Structure 1
Amino acid sequence: MSDMDKAHLNNMVGPIMRQGALARAVFEAAEVDNPDRKILMEDKVAYVRIQTEDEMILRQETIEEMLGKPFKLNQLEVDMASFAGRIETKADHVRFYFAKHL
């Protein structure tokens, strides 16, 4: 069974983004905003999968800090091709999570 066939058998959550400066900033922000979690970034050439187990928080302020310029959370949608888990958006952060765990 390939990794793609087993994707439904884990609790990994997070954004799937186009390669670029924003994806790198989101990865770095995820590490800062989720200090107790191991953040993984899978490079798939055209896109990157940024993920962790169960829950990931991305704060607007942290992404701005990593980018070195102002950033609005709705700009995340431009480079985010997809995501794993459920998503909850607030004015100052985005949360990826699962309601049920395996």
Structure 2
Amino acid sequence: MATNKEIDKILRNNNVGPIMRAGDLADAVVEAAISDNPGKDIKVENKNAYIRISACSEMRLTRESIELELGRPFRMNEIEIDMASFAGRIKMSTDEVVFYYTTNLQN
């Protein structure tokens, strides 16, 4: 059974972002997350088969940054192929994807 401290930590988790299948695209998304979200603490958890990429409350990824990292043209809907899951809500356009929470949990 979870302790009150563990439950409090879970309830205060405002992290959002993709969970990517490991590979070239996941590596590019990590680098894009860092460059597209200046000043934000980007967390990267490498679980070998997949990589969890997260930031507090909001994370933006641009097509331009991913293309730069991959070294080739990239369509934003390609991210869905290697994205096993994600945390938060998602808003996608042809030029960017934004992961976000509309309401933050307790701080």
User: TM-score scaled by structure 1?
Assistant: 0.92
Q: Whole-Å Cα distance in 2 between the matches of residues 7 and 75 of structure 1?
A: 31
Where 1:23 maps in the other structure, the secondary structure is: helix
Hey, which bits of structure 1, 4+ residues long, moved more than 3 A?
5-9
Q: What residue is the counterpart of 1:46 in the other structure?
A: 49
The residue that corresponds to 1:21 in the other structure is: 24
The residue aligned with 1:37 is 40
Residues 58-77 of structure 1 aligned to structure 2 (within 5 Å): 58-77=61-80
Superposed displacement of residue 9, structure 1 = 3.4
Aligned to 1:93: 96
RMSD: 1.8
Please tell me whether Structure 1 or Structure 2 has the larger radius of gyration of its CA atoms: 2
Unpaired stretches in structure 1, ≥5 consecutive residues: none
Supply the distance in 1 between the matched residues of 2:94 and 2:49 (Cα, whole angstroms): 29
Separation in 1 of the partners of 2:48 and 2:82? Answer: 14
Task: Give a deviation string over 1:41-92, Cα, whole Å, max 9, x none.
Answer: 1011110000010100000011000111111001000000000000001120
Contact 2:75 2:94 in 1 (8 A): no
Note closer, same or farther for the CA distance 1:40–1:63 as it changes in structure 2 (3 Å cut).
same
Report the TM-score when normalising by structure 2. Answer: 0.88
1:8, CA displacement in angstroms? 4.8
Q: Please give the secondary structure, in 2, of the residue aligned with 1:51.
A: strand
- Structure 2 portions without partners, runs of 5+: none
